[in-house]
């Protein structure tokens, strides 16, 4: 994103600068959350420490609205408690020096906030957080939120939780290895877009979408249940286009790539594939029959067809190469390599340490 800097002043170890931009979200943003304004037109805050709190910390950075947050440090920020975001902020994880920035051991919450843009941020709760009823990222009651190129893992309640949301996008992200309930994302509310994401080794909710939804160019691996609506979820429209579902060792019922999508739902499904053979070969078949839902003959959302620019097979290649925070780290590389086994490897974990990765399973940044 390009900004025009007007002024610069130092406040302790934090630095603010006035910025001006006419854009919502960022160039290339898609879906309902792309209308988020974030910290556009606000001040730039430089995160200068990995400390949990204090001047220059991430917690201090997100404590005020109208901020564009950049990172002068890399590594993990280990939370001592959940951190609450303010409205109208942009979190630019891509500005961190290599190997990037991550949040671990607590929940990042945008609950009841609005106009939030989060890019290239790793959010990995794990069981170092004693709050088992919290998630890696919570946006309950939020509106106009976009997560792009984020890496969300080890959520205890859900990896991503959002009940009562309006206009959200989760795009180009990796949602992997949920623990606790072992759920990917629970979204209820108005309009939701899931685009170009990689979902790995979740028991269910990949996502659970009780909303008018766009689900386009996603890849789901080692599911027990993938795209879910739930029979008590209300009546919604769903555009499900050019996604790839791949069964893994934990997949007990391979046909659960669509789960609990009842006759109250209306679905436009096209170009979706499921590889259920678990044989290490990329050889899926078309699967566009979605439960007992009403069949739509055209997408309900006006931009869904244009958004579905990649076939399911092309989405598999693109998502595995590009999803998640950049640069790709140990946890995300492990997630991708698990998918590349094409049915031969994969575990639905109960804690991050069981992955065998460094730093107690969180990986090293």
Catalytically annotated residues: 205
CB 138 within 8 A of CB 113: no
Report the DSSP beta bridge partners of residue 209: 187
Helix (H) or strand (E) holding 359: none
In b/e form, how buried is each residue of 282-315, taking b as 16+ CB within 10 angstroms?
A: bebeebbebbebeebeebbbebbeebbebebeeb
Give the Cβ contact number of residue 360 at 10 Å.
Answer: 15
CB 94 within 8 A of CB 326: yes
Question: Taking Cα atoms as reference points, which of 286, 275, 285, 287 lies closest to residue 341?
Answer: 275
CB 214 within 8 A of CB 237: no
Which 3-state string (H, E, C) describes 87-152?
CCEEEEHHHCCCCCEEEECCCEECCCCEEEEEECCEEECCCCCCCCCCCCEECCCCEEEEEECCEE
Helix (H) or strand (E) holding 220: strand 219-221
Residue 7, judged by CB atoms within 10 A of its CB (0-12, 13-18, 19+), counts as exposed
**Which residues are CB-contacts of 331 (< 8 A; sequence separation ≥ 6)?**
122, 124, 151, 153, 176, 177, 355, 357, 362, 363
**Which residues are CB-contacts of 172 (< 8 A; sequence separation ≥ 6)?**
148, 149, 195, 196, 197, 319, 322, 323, 324
CB 204 within 8 A of CB 240: no
């Amino acid at each position: 994103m390009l900004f025009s800097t007007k002024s610069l002043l130092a406040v302790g170890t934090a630095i603010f600068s006035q910025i001006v931009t006419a854009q919502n979200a960022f160039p290339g943003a898609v879906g309902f959350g792309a209308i988020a304004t974030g910290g556009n037109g606000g001040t730039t805050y430089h995160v200068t420490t990995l400390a949990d709190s204090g001047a220059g910390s991430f917690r201090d950075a997100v404590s005020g609205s109208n901020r564009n947050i950049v990172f002068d440090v890399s590594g993990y920020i280990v939370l001592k408690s959940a951190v609450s975001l303010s409205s109208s902020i942009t979190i630019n994880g891509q500005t961190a020096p290599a190997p990037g920035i991550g949040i671990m051991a607590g929940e990042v919450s945008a609950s009841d906030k609005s106009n939030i843009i989060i890019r290239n941020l790793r959010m990995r709760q794990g069981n170092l957080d004693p709050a088992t009823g919290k998630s890696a990222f919570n946006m309950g009651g939020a509106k106009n939120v976009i997560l792009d190129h984020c890496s969300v893992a080890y959520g205890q309640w859900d990896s991503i939780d959002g009940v009562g949301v309006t206009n959200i996008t989760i795009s180009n992200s990796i949602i992997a290895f949920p623990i606790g309930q072992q759920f990917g994302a629970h979204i209820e509310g108005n309009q939701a877009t899931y685009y170009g994401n990689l979902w790995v080794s979740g028991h269910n909710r990949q996502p659970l979408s009780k909303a008018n939804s766009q689900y386009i160019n996603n890849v789901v691996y080692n599911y027990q249940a993938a795209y879910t609506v739930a029979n008590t979820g209300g009546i919604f429209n769903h555009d499900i286009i050019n996604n790839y579902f791949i069964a893994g060792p934990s997949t007990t019922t391979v046909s659960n790539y669509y789960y609990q999508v009842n006759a109250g739902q209306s679905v436009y499904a096209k170009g979706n594939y499921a590889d259920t053979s678990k044989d290490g070969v990329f050889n899926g078949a078309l699967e566009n029959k979605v439960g007992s839902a009403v069949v739509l003959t055209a997408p309900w959302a006006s931009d869904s067809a244009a958004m579905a620019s990649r076939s399911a097979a092309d989405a598999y290649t693109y998502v595995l190469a590009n999803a998640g925070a950049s640069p790709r780290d140990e946890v995300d590389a492990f997630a991708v390599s698990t998918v590349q086994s094409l049915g031969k490897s994969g575990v639905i974990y109960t804690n991050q340490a069981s992955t065998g990765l460094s730093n107690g399973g969180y990986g090293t940044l």
